[in-house]
Amino acid sequence: MLKYTPDDYDARGQLRLPLSFWAILLLQARTWVLFVMAGASRQQGAALLELFYPDTHTFWLGLALGGPAAVGLLLTGYRQRLPRLWQAWRWVLMATLAVMLVMQGVSLWQQDEQTSPLVLFVSLLDLLGLLALWRQRRLADCFDPEQNQ
């Protein structure tokens, strides 16, 4: 019995990455996305960054934590060439999401009332992303080299 239909594979025989994977990468790289948006809007770029990241330390930390997602985006094209690195990258993405959740938990614990609802919402999205990477069978199979040959 087939686990996936032939339509679930691309022309190279790799299992297509589900939409949830791309959403998780976008969620993790949210600081990078904001940085690119700020660069695209030249006059309002600094104000946009100041609005979301009043503390520059938090901005740099967000860029660092979004780095694994950016590398994961680049690795999607090298799944067959670097299968062991690709397989390990799932765990890197999960660890990064766990670190983000801990940081957001600390932020909520400090009770900054102005950002609490936003931090709670983003924390919920991060938790859903972590659960999807951990438990979603199709997403896990995309990181399995045996499924991508």
**Rounded to 5 degrees, what are φ and ψ at 17?**
-75, 130
Between 83-109 and 19-28, two packed helices, what is the crossing angle to 10 degrees? 50
Mean pLDDT, range 110-118, rounded to an integer:
67
State the Cα–Cα distance between residues 130 and 109, nearest whole angstrom: 21
Report which DSSP code applies to 148: G
Residue 2: other Cβ atoms inside 10 A: 6
Mean pLDDT, range 49-55, rounded to an integer:
79
Report which DSSP code applies to 112: -
Q: How confident is the model at residue 53 (pLDDT cuts 50, 70, 90)?
A: confident
The predicted structure's pLDDT at residue 71? 94
The predicted structure's pLDDT at residue 105? 83
State the Cα–Cα distance between residues 120 and 101, nearest whole angstrom: 10
The predicted structure's pLDDT at residue 118? 76
Q: Does residue 1 register a pLDDT over 60?
A: no
Mean pLDDT highest for which of 6-10, 35-39, 56-60, 94-98? 94-98
The predicted model scores a pTM of 0.85
Full 3-state SS string of 24-38: HHHHHCHHHHHHHHH
Q: Does residue 34 register a pLDDT over 80?
A: yes
